[in-house]
Structure 1
Amino acid sequence: MESLALHYLWWIVALLLIGGEVILPGYFMLWIGFAAAAMGVVVFAVPGLGELAQAVLFAVLAFASCFAYWRFVRPRIDRTPPGNARLNRRGEQLVGGRYTLCEPIVQGRGKAKVGDGMWLVTGPDLPLGTMVEVVGVDGTTLRVKAVDVA
């Protein structure tokens, strides 16, 4: 009867850890919860397993499940789908685009019309109305070069 209680204890620990993962997401409580659930199965299958052996086996299973997450699952989660890599970095989305200067570049600074707004630009001194290409971004300032119109 005592082994049956230990079996349920491991399942309760698993549910608490997985529930904690839902409340405070971070992925590790989930995998340790899976280890606790596996311990529930082990204690059910081997009812005479001592407490020390259970603790050591739980530590090994928790380490193995966290390692499996780190090695196999996490690399698949960390991949950013193509097209979304610059989703929240508007300036980087503009690299390669061509725009018209709405203020001349004087002493290396000016403004270009991008869509319905204006962006600060840096580059060689150029007159108003020159077509420029964005070659890089420094914070919210676009680095530009003159476009050869041939």
Structure 2
Amino acid sequence: MGKIVYFWWTIGFVLLALETLVPGATLLWFGLAALGVGLVVLVIPGLSIIGQVVLFGIFSAVTLAIYWKFFRATHHESDQPLLNRRGEQMIGRVFVVEEAIEHGQGKVRVGDTVWSVLGEDCAVGSRVRVLDVLDNKLKVEPAQ
């Protein structure tokens, strides 16, 4: 075996080892491509350096395509779709006005937090229902 085979295998194994330090699965596919070029050079020892580099590019593209097609995480429906979407969790709930809603703006108390609200004018103590969330403000309407 020629030195060039060892070169490609060394590059491949170094990339595979570095994969343990890098988040995601990026270097893995380049490492596999380098190992593949090493195997081709083992079978075809007269392959030029340019040919090897082109082959590495092709193998890298193929391995990345395989990753994107079969291994990349796809969007899965969550069993808690509103997790970390605090404002949206409040849609439909009724709260008491903490600071009067005047000129379309006021505040309501939600647990131990005060939220800004947008809606029809309401006095302190009125009950309002959350309709939507707009820019971290709750859009409300008077509740019955």
TM-score normalised by length of structure 2: 0.79
Among candidates 56, 60, 63, match of residue 62 of structure 1: 60
1:16 matched residue in structure 2? 14
Higher helix share: 1
Shift of 1:36: 1.2
Q: 1:15 to 1:86 in 2, by over 3 A?
A: farther
The RMSD of aligned alpha carbons is 2.5
Separation in structure 2 between the aligned mates of residue 33 and residue 145 of structure 1, nearest angstrom: 59
Separation in structure 2 between the aligned mates of residue 15 and residue 142 of structure 1, nearest angstrom: 54
**Secondary structure in structure 2 of the residue aligned to 1:23:** coil
Structure 1 unaligned blocks of 5 or more: none
1:106 matched residue in structure 2? 102
1:31 matched residue in structure 2? 29
> Alignment length, in residue pairs?
143
Structure 2 unaligned blocks of 5 or more: none
Percent identity over paired residues: 36
Q: Which residues in structure 2 correspond to 1:63-142 (within 5 Å)? A: 63-74=61-72, 77-79=73-75, 81-83=77-79, 85-142=81-138
Tell me the alpha carbon deviations over residues 16-73 of structure 1, each in whole angstroms, 9 at most, x when there is no partner: 22334443435433221121122233334x1525134332222111011122223333
Shift of 1:129: 2.3
TM-score normalised by length of structure 1: 0.76
Tell me the alpha carbon deviations over residues 61-117 of structure 1, each in whole angstroms, 9 at most, x when there is no partner: 10111222233333xx25255155554442233233222212221111111111122
